Amino acid sequence: MSTNEHRQRVIFVCTHNSARSQMAEGMLRAWGKDEFAAFSAGTEATSVRPEAIAVMSEIGIDISKHTSKTLEPFMGDVFSWLITVCDQAKESCPTLPGVEQQAHWSIDDPSGVEGDESVRLDAFREARDRLRDRIHMFMLAAGREDLPHPEPQRLG
């Protein structure tokens, strides 16, 4: 699975596509570039949170050029995985037509944390670190040849 044609396409979905899904996309793009093609979307589009950009920069990943998107532009695209990273997105988007592999990672929303900049950044770091651990486990499991790998399906 090292050629671009055989990369697993993964879409991370969150409510606003502003923090958790953006961070997950950035990590999988950076670390899984030979095996995975990463995307993210939200049930609504807003903008990428500056705190998410800042804490990702701390680990050497630049998501400053990412934009917030809805699922609409991805309808009809082929994806191997759909991963929801917040409970509200799981409720709003419990499944999409044709997606064979789905996962749900319940990551607390750092955007809802109030306080000064250091308190908010700590919340984003905690979400980033939980996502980092899940991305690492996902990459190990999804890349195993002894596990079944269904053919990618089209959304919509």
Give catalytic residue positions. 14, 86, 93
Residue (of 10, 23, 28) closest to 109 by Cα position: 23
User: Cβ distance 24 to 84 under 8 Å?
Assistant: no
Q: Which two tokens stand for residue 112?
A: 């809802």
The strand ranges marked E within 7-139 are 8-14, 36-42, 78-79, 81-84, 101-104
